[in-house]
Amino acid sequence: MKYITQLLSRYGRALMFGAWFYAIIGLLPGQGYQTFLRPEFGILLAVGLLVLIGFLFAEMGQLDRELHFSLNETIHLLILMIPLAYLPIARGTSLDSNAFQRRWTGLSVENGGMTALLNTNTDLDISALQTERAREVSVANLCRMPRAYKNQRIAVTGMIHRTPDIKERFGNNACVLFRFVITCCAADAMPAAILLIGEVPADWPDDTWIRAEGQFTLREDQGKPVPTLELSGAIRTAKPCRPYLY
């Protein structure tokens, strides 16, 4: 135990800074950090990398000195290392139906959770809504300005989710299509969701990415408007390189 304490006293901080440096370097290529953050925050990670380099060089200059390392400092060091243990698990994954069920506040465009999505930075472009060809629209835009798309033919991409409550309220051919909208990072992500009415193959499991096409309407449910896509067709599609909306 004494030997381990001596090692931590001499090399603990340098190892921690080095591990964080390696972790951030691994997130920058290919914009892997977008698993957790908005794309614009890549510059902040780059700044953090420069700061880590400074700390690492400062610590390297003191390796020949054995510093006092108390129990509290050991605990602090371990706490700072915990996120690094989580990174290999989290990389390449994204929020799915499990997170959707915990964060979902309902389909109505007038409830509190959906109102929060109305203030996101998602751009809105409805200049070509009057064309006969289906207009590609994001789920966030449909929730943000549903009346602007009412009775229009649109196409939207997202993940599907089936719940007994949705089937009970809207029928057996109903499910939800959703994507997560990020304001800052994955921790504050909220789902934007619309109701799908139509034949979605039963062998398509939850979290299947699809491109759905049909007529967008607002269906009344319990006195509230529900954004609804009446399907004319749906196909499976690959997971987008950026699964979140911003």
Three-state helix/strand/coil letters over 127-165: CCCCCCCCEECCHHHHHHCHHHHCCCEEEEEEEEECCHH
Model pLDDT, residue 7:
65
Query: Low-confidence residues of the chain, pLDDT below 50?
Result: 112-131
Would you call 146 helix, strand, or coil by DSSP? helix
Model pLDDT, residue 113:
44
Per-residue pLDDT of 90-111, as tens digits, reads 766 788 898 898 888 777 766 5
User: Residue 152 is encoded by which pair of tokens?
Assistant: 């229009």
Q: Give the residues across from 211 on adjacent strands.
A: 157, 235
Query: Backbone phi, then psi, for 95, in 5-degree steps?
Result: -60, 140
